[in-house]
Amino acid sequence: MIRRQFITLLGGAAAAWPLAARAQQQPAKLPTLGFIVSTTPSAESERITAFLQRLRELGWIEGRTITIEFRFAEGHTHRLSELATELVRLKVDVIVAQSTPAVFAAKQATSVIPIVFPVSGDPIGTGLVASLARPGGNVTGLSLQQRDLGGKRIELLREAVPGLRRLAIMADVGNPVAQLEMREVQTNAQALGLDVVTAEIRRTEDIVPAFEALKGHVEAVYVAASPLLNANRIRINTWALAVRLPTMHGLRDSVEAGGVLSYGPNFPELFRRAAEIVDKVLRGTKPADIPVEQPTRFDLVVNLVTAKALGLTIPPGLLARADEVIE
């Protein structure tokens, strides 16, 4: 009886040994980061590279210490909800949402998984967070202060276009942040005595007719940043040049694509700082306890090639203050 019990125990232990050995050999499941991008891989390559580089510096190496699932909406905002739901279904540990619409889609998909936004035009005004100091819920990140910069951009545009009197504001009216920025810029411009018209964009097909309608009626165009307009930055600047209109943007990418001026936060720096927030979350800090950060570096970029093509002479004082001049 005792012998049979011993043999049974021995047999059970022997059967368990290979299982234990296999368990030790199998690597632990890596934390998974879901990354939702409203635009295209090429449009965000510099920023995503900065984000991944900072993650590596913090010890999070893709394929070794973390898994990353990228999802790109390619400028089609209506796809964001589907992409966010897909990441939630994968049970990712953190979601990085690259734009305000992407954050809304992620928030709708989950109230549990932490969400970090590298950029948001106005997280309080759009209701993403309760306050900058105490965001609450499962969302935190970095604010662009987009509305606050509208007045500064108007001043720079007036400096670049002497005698500016008639201004168009082009905005994706389906984007809540762009709507807020458009109203803010309109108020600032009118306070300075400018005549203002709005070019409301809802889809790519609206861009060309908008420029055709503006031709001969305004002297410059303020382009409110949004995923839709950023994805169409080449189209926008090509048509602006065709109808002889200088443009002001919030994104450096748009000036690289032929715009005249941009003024705004340094995006690669914001994405590096977003990686630091993701690091905190992966190490156990709740998003509700991480204050929303604000930009510390703002860049003025001037495209002299486009300015010359438009017959526009950029004042030396403005060029001297530029962080980058494209020649």
Cα separation, 217 vs 237, in Å, equals 17
Task: Give the tens place of pLDDT for each residue, 268-306.
Answer: 999 999 999 999 999 999 999 999 999 988 999 999 999
**Residues 6 or more apart whose Cβ sits within 8 Å of residue 64:** 30
Q: Which residue has the tokens 């002889």?
A: 244
pLDDT band at residue 146, thresholds of 50, 70 and 90? low
Judge whether residue 317 has pLDDT over 90: yes
Task: Give the tens place of pLDDT for each residue, 157-216.
Answer: 999 999 999 999 999 998 888 898 899 999 999 999 999 999 999 999 999 999 999 999
What is residue 120's three-state secondary structure? strand
Mean pLDDT across the stretch 45-72? 96
**Residues 6 or more apart whose Cβ sits within 8 Å of residue 49:** 268
Mean pLDDT of the chain: 89
231 vs 32, more confident: 32
Judge whether residue 94 has pLDDT over 80: yes
Cα separation, 245 vs 307, in Å, equals 10
pLDDT band at residue 127, thresholds of 50, 70 and 90? confident
Altogether, the residues listed in the chain come to a count of 327
Residue 263 near residue 152 (C-beta atoms within 8 A): yes
- For Cα atoms 200, 121, 273, give the angle at the middle one, nearest 5 degrees: 145
Name all domains of the chain by residue range, CATH numbers in brackets: 32-144+266-296 (3.40.50.2300), 147-265+299-326 (3.40.50.2300)
Judge whether residue 20 has pLDDT over 70: no
Distances, alpha carbon 17 to alpha carbons 9, 20, 23, 24, in Å: 12, 5, 10, 11
Mean pLDDT across the stretch 96-120? 94
28 vs 67, more confident: 67
pLDDT band at residue 27, thresholds of 50, 70 and 90? low
For residue 297, which amino acid is it?
R
Mean pLDDT across the stretch 80-103? 95
301 vs 100, more confident: 301
